[in-house]
Amino acid sequence: MSNASEYPARRPSGPGSTRRFVAAAFAAVLMALLPIAVSAEQGAASDWAHTDQTAVRLVSAVAGVGDLDAIPLGLQFTLKPGWKTYWRSPGDAGIPVTVDWTGSENLASADMAWPVPHRFTLFGLDTFGYEREVVFPIAVRPTRAGEPVRLRAAVNYLVCEQICIPHQTVLALDLPAGPASPTGHGQLIDRFADQVPGDGVAHDLRLERIGLTGGPEAPVLEVVAQSRIPFAAPDLIVEGPPGLYFAAPEVTLSDGGTRAVLRAPVTLDEGAPALTDASLTLTLVDGTRGLERDVASLAAGPGHSAPLAASTALLPMLMVALLGGLILNLMPCVLPVLSLKLLGVVGHGGGAARAVRASFLASAAGVLVSFLALAGVLASLKMAGVAVGWGIQFQQPLFLVAMVLMLTLFACNLWGWFEIPLPGWLGGVAGGKPGAPEGHGLGGHFVTGAFATLLATPCSAPFLGTAVGFALAHGGGEIFAIFAALGLGLAAPYLLVAAVPSLATRLPRPGRWMITLRRILAVALAGTALWLLSVLAAQISPTAALLVGGLMLAVAGALWARRRLPDGFRLATPAAVGLLALVAFLLPAEMSERPAAAEVEVGEGLWRPFEAAQIAELVASGKSVFVDVTADWCITCQVNKRMVLGSADVAERLAGEGMVAMRADWTRPDDAIAAYLASFGRYGIPFNVVYGPGAPEGVPLPELLTEGTVLDAIDRADGRAAGRAGG
């Protein structure tokens, strides 16, 4: 086994300080990483342009241009209640939002996307647009990559209530050269980018058939759509050549709401093109979910269907996955494996560049292989009809026992209680000798990378949720491609050291200080094992977790005593460890499981168990509902609870009159929770959403919460104002 690798620490100042030091180190790392991940909402953004009805600004998902070919921006609108602005095809009235980039510097193009709109009907006129808040995702492509970009956006838009008012404003945003580090705005842009209609697979939407019925005198466009999640209120928006008008569709639901037939009556002006030859763009909308298809021509008759133009979003989603995997390195979820990452760096101090490069490439390969293994498992489960999601391996007791066992062995290895020599050819490939203190060959480094990945994937991260949602809504090919990109992102630190070995070789040579560091980091791994035992206790029972913990202590004791026993007994140690491990794996099958999640006491006073069916009722009665989807194995969820949801201001608001707080516990598998997450295009946690009279469809929140984002979302859901945009 490799000497476990990677996590920084300083030597304790004296005896008895190890525990205090480890706690302080974890706290310091957490406090250092959270500002990087969240980047505060004061990141790259223009000033707000205010009117009596709206507030408008540009926001950027990155703080610098880096070497990006496309910089992710957003044009953010907040509108006062009752006011709306318009989609690209406004309908029977209205003007779409337009942006003129004249005056910008180092700008080749700026492509704006349109989230799904809503239909507004007044006096028989149908218009399409947005109310309260919308962010238009924009892909800005610089003329010269890596150089600063100066943006000047002249935004023309129309807002309407009882009257309509045109507005024009000029927004300025300068993006400097430098690292494309993420800002807090990336979460907001990502949320609305999820609402941009694509081929529908990310939202489990599919068009079964498109055709014409009703005859030439009263033609009707008929669209049959399927959804894995029951439809709520599907709508069909049709864009076509002048002279063709499509009314709001009549909708018929069947198969438990998962199949919808939409029939839109068609009106033809004199001189309009033949309906069967018209090129149309169909947008199927269901809440924040959407699907868009181009139709080259229509065939008459209920048995015929129109050819659909193919579309794909795989390439840009691969870039999103790469960024999501990279950001995962900064999430609280990786705290348990920082020791594995950093010890591998400091262990190469003074070493040869060739050996450093080979070992870190082996660790990166371990990361990639483990991601591909996860992709294979998820693709197989999806084909079998099982509800899948990111981090679901932590819902399986046997997986938890395996991780606890591996952590115990890694910790004992770091404490120096045993070594596992690898075959000579592996050590030779790494440039080391088998059995040497720090030269266990590529096999050990590969295992370290794979093991670190499995421990680092219980929680979601910015951009990662979007990529995983896209993958799991597609077929096996997309799942493997997206997970490979995620693996490359997570392996980026290993690849960086492999590319620049001096990052490791210039560190001090290993000496006695390494022994102390290894022992301290072994304590961190043992603490991670205790955390996983607490998750096991929540899934099965505290008794089972205590028994598994006792067996792991016996494993550690056997390894500690191995070198102190006579030769005959020493040879029996591996068999004893194997027997103890086997008993640990058998325990989950023998111990009775805890009650279903709905019956488990949620506790903490203000929280009630999650009931999706009650949300619409509560909102209709004027209440707001805050939903927290969490799990004991999700470290980011625990950080959100302690630092944000448990803070005085947020807790007071959640406990206030007219507010209902629901908590969905996904520690154990739950198909209802999985389907609820999928309805938002999410397949991982943490996930929080707020419903209310002002947002009956819900306001999803970013993975990492702040008090400001939570209180803003509650304000929007309450319908109090257009948020805290001007604050």
Give the pLDDT band (50/70/90) at residue 212: confident
Euclidean distance between CA atoms 651 and 659, whole angstroms: 11
Query: Can you tell me whether residue 358 is helix, strand or coil?
Result: helix
Helix (H, G, I), strand (E, B) or coil at 567: helix
Overall pTM > 0.85:
no
pLDDT at 268: 83
Q: What is the structure's pLDDT at 541?
A: 79
**Structural fold of domain 201-295:** Immunoglobulin-like (2.60.40)
- Give percent above pLDDT 70 in the chain: 76
pLDDT at position 476 over 50: yes
Q: Is the pLDDT of residue 631 over 70?
A: yes
Task: Over range 122-147, report the average pLDDT.
Answer: 91
The more confident residue out of 530 and 6 is 530
The better pLDDT of the pair 680, 297 is held by: 680
* Across 108-133, average pLDDT: 91
- Our separate counts of H helices and E strands in the chain read 21, 24
Question: How many whole angstroms separate alpha carbon 65 and alpha carbon 371?
Answer: 29
Answer yes or no: is pLDDT of 636 > 50.
yes
Residues 637, 686: contact at Cβ < 8 Å? Answer: yes
Exposed / middle / buried, residue 265 (Cβ in 10 Å: 0-12, 13-18, 19+): middle
Binned at pLDDT 50, 70 and 90, residue 350 comes out as: low
Average pLDDT over residues 42-54: 87
Query: What pLDDT sits at residue 96?
Result: 94
Residue 21 has pLDDT above 60, yes or no: no
Q: Rounded CA gap, 236 and 286, in Å?
A: 9
Maximal CA-CA distance, the chain: 101
Give the model confidence (pLDDT) of 382-416 as tens digits: 666 555 667 667 777 888 888 888 888 878 877 87
pLDDT at 461: 64
Residue ranges of the domains in the chain?
Answer: 18-36+315-590, 49-183, 201-295, 597-718
Tokens 């980039």, residue located: 101
pLDDT of residue 419: 64
pLDDT reading at 430 higher than 50: no
* Residues whose CB falls within 8 Å of the CB of residue 330, separated by 6 or more in sequence, listed in order: 33, 36, 37, 461
According to CATH, the topology of domain 597-718 is Glutaredoxin (3.40.30)
17 has a pLDDT exceeding 50:
no
Per residue in 72-83, pLDDT (tens digit) is: 999 999 999 999
Range in 36-45, 116-125, 313-322, 343-352 with the lowest mean pLDDT: 36-45
The single-letter DSSP state of residue 272 is: P
- Compute CA distances 630 → 361, 589, 697, whole Å: 35, 25, 20
Place of tokens 């096991």: 536
Predicted pLDDT of residue 346: 59
Per the prediction, the chain carries an average pLDDT of: 78
Percent of the chain exceeding pLDDT 90 equals 26
Asked if residues 497 and 363 have their Cβ atoms less than 8 Å apart, the reply is no
In this predicted structure, the answer to whether residue 102 has a pLDDT above a threshold of 60 is yes
Task: Give the number of other CB atoms < 10 A from CB of residue 418.
Answer: 17
pLDDT exceeds 60 at position 43: no
Report, as an integer, the average pLDDT of 311-340.
Answer: 72
Residue-wise pLDDT tens digits, 682-710: 777 889 999 998 888 788 888 888 898 89
Of the two residues 618 and 3, the one the predictor is more confident about is 618
Confidence of residue 337 (pLDDT cuts 50, 70, 90): low
pLDDT score of 74: 96
Query: According to the per-residue pLDDT averaged within each range, which of 17-31, 630-644, 668-682 is highest?
Result: 630-644
pLDDT band at 506 (very low <50, low <70, confident <90, very high): low
For the cut 80, the answer to whether the pLDDT of residue 112 exceeds it is yes
pLDDT reported for residue 462: 66
pLDDT at site 22: 43
* DSSP-derived pairing of the beta strands 624-630 and 659-665: parallel
Higher model confidence: residue 712 or residue 451?
712
Q: Which residue has the higher pLDDT, 103 or 37?
A: 103
| Dihedral sign of CA atoms 194, 198, 202, 206 in order | positive
Summarised one tens digit per residue, pLDDT across range 223-275 is 989 888 889 899 999 998 888 889 999 999 888 888 899 999 988 877 777 77
Under the banding of pLDDT at 50, 70 and 90, the label for residue 44 is confident
Residue 428 has pLDDT above 50, yes or no: no
Confidence category of residue 510, pLDDT binned at 50, 70, 90: low
The answer, yes or no, to whether residue 54 has pLDDT greater than 90, is yes
Cα Rg for the chain, rounded, in angstroms?
Answer: 28
Cα separation, 253 vs 258, whole angstroms? 7
- Per the rule left: phi > 0, alpha: psi between -120 and 50, beta: everything else, 48 is beta
Higher pLDDT, 203 or 63: 63
Q: Do domains 49-183 and 201-295 have the same CATH topology?
A: yes
So what CATH class is 49-183? mainly beta
Confidence band (pLDDT; 50, 70, 90) for 61? very high
Q: pLDDT category, 332, cuts 50, 70, 90?
A: low
**CA dist., res. 292 & res. 271, Å (int):** 27
Mean pLDDT of 15-40: 45
Q: Which pLDDT score, from 0 to 100, does residue 464 have?
A: 75
For residue 627, what pLDDT is reported?
95
Give the model confidence (pLDDT) of 489-501 as tens digits.
988 888 888 888 7
Please tell me the predicted confidence (pLDDT) of residue 267: 87
Alpha-carbon span 524 to 26, nearest angstrom: 9
* More confident site: 722 or 378: 378
Contact 6, 339 (CB under 8 A): yes
Res 625: pLDDT? 95
Residue type, 268: L
> What 8-state DSSP symbol labels residue 699?
E
C-alpha to C-alpha distance for 673 and 289, rounded to whole angstroms = 18
Q: Which one has a higher pLDDT value, 125 or 336? A: 125
As given in the structure block, the two tokens for residue 632 are 């004991």
Average pLDDT over residues 591-611: 60
Q: 5: pLDDT confidence band, cut at 50, 70 and 90?
A: very low
pLDDT at 420 over 60: no
pLDDT for position 9: 36
